[in-house]
A = this chain, B = another copy of it.
């Protein structure tokens, strides 16, 4: 955790930015919730618990800054709010999303399934791929299981 923060600190400083207490608190929240896809508001509320004096605008500015530095990825699942994800070390980010339309959960798949497709794109369409996103909407395994259990119980 500290190592990761140090690394981000260096990334900031190499561009002339500082790791202020507010930024550090924001980064810590992000690190502690690496699994989730937090919105700016989510981050704001979590940061407020450890640094109550922080302002929402600062959180937005920090998230924007970290996105510019490619520390974060800003994404949009179509629900009207931007969500942020820590990028991993690998130069490419290759995770895909499973978005449950029933419970709203967003799971990730870390495998990269698209390399063959990207090669095909470059050759067949003369399109130089820099990034991609692949999201699936559907019913997640939790909701599937729940539905199955309720069916078995037969007490409706």
Interface residues of A (CB under 8 A from B): 74-76, 78, 98, 101, 107, 109, 113-114, 117-118, 121, 125-141, 144-145
Contacts and interface: CB of A to CB of B under 8 A. Distances in A.
A156 B64 CA distance: 34
A97 to B, nearest CB: 10
The oligomer's copy count stands at 2
Given A101-B130, A127-B139, 14 more contacts: A75-B78, A98-B121, A98-B127, A107-B127, A118-B136, A121-B138, A126-B140, A126-B145, A127-B136, A127-B141, A128-B139, A130-B138, A130-B139, A132-B136
A125 B139 contact: no
Contacts of A138: 121, 127-131
Name the residue in A98, A130, A144 with the highest tally of chain B Cβ atoms < 10 Å from its Cβ: A130
